[in-house]
Amino acid sequence: MRTTRVLHAVDSHTEGMATRVITGGVGTVPGATMAERRSHFMLHLDELRTFLMYEPRGHAAMSGAILQPPTRPDADYGVLFIEVSGCLPMCGHGTIGVATVLVETGMVPVVEPVTTIRLDTPAGLVTAEVAVENGAATAVTLRNVPSFSVALDRKAVLPDGRTVTYDLAYGGNFYAIVPLAEFDLPFDRTHKDEILAAGLSLMTAVNDGGAPVHPEDPAITGCHHVQLLAPGSTAERSRHAMAIHPGWFDRSPCGTGTSARMAQLHARGELPLHQDFVNESFIGTAFTGRLTGAAEVGGRPAVLPTVTGRAWITGTAQYLLDPTDPFPAGFLL
């Protein structure tokens, strides 16, 4: 067996969405902070992302995380979040997957009934509280970065000339949030191609009209997620289809998307602090969110979200690169 690369992984899924956790073989990415490491990775090591996420080792909706030494003394591990769309500042379902893997592989000291893991992410420090029973992770509650509403009732002109009204919010990534009724489409997976096309058309319009930029970190920019809300969605229980660049759906309820949705609902006066909010994915799985306090980001009001969900380990692997492989960086069809 010949190989020029060996990457060690523990695969998992969080409420249906994959997280391929890379536990070895990458080395320490240069950078004094995880934000700097993310920038270096995107500029110089992106073929590692495509190698792991694209076909033939991944697929068109693949997601993962690369474990790193932390850059700050109050963190247990650093994490770079990767997926087919790029290298994310933060990933909620990925955090739940990483925390589950760390506990169930014994990579952190395991304490019952709750093991607390502090993760150094490009978006900031994220804490994961893992409920543990008989050594198994049964649920993970992540304490996400401060989240905030960017704009309410913003107008966008789509490529077909139609105007839709949407809200824009941040929960670790930027999200356009729009009722699916704006596109006259049913919340039905048999219409998934039309729903995805609608989400991508709004994504294009949002970015063409001036891509959002984080007020404290200009490296976090652009809207690559559109949350299309099902009819009947409320501040108690919401259903959605999450369209993601370059053209796929999140299978999970989306942790950073749940945080952004709660920030949007709070800005509208519909979701108070300390009230549970259930957010349901396109395949029917759910996260439970809660706003635990107020904060400020770049001079604007923000909220402190928690998101609770579950993940399961699906396998372990060593990913190899034969020197004659015609797809050393993978391919995306």
Find the catalytic residue in 168, 205, 254, 311: 254
> What is the β-pairing status of strands 286-297 and 248-249?
unpaired
- Written as six digits, the tokens of 263 are 């920030």
DSSP-assigned states of every residue in 306-323: EEEE-EEEEEEEEEE--T
Distance, in Å, from the CA atom of 137 to the CA atom of 130, rounded to the nearest integer, reads: 6
Active site residue 91: yes
Strand pairing partners for 230?
A: none
Q: Which helix or strand (DSSP H or E) is residue 202 part of?
A: helix 192-208
E-state strands within 199-322: 223-229, 237-244, 248-249, 277-280, 286-297, 300-309, 311-320
Cα 38 to Cα 26: distance, rounded to the nearest angstrom: 14
Tell me the residue type at 9.
A
Q: Tell me which of 91, 244, 262, 302 is the catalytic residue.
A: 91
Catalogue the active-site residues.
91, 254
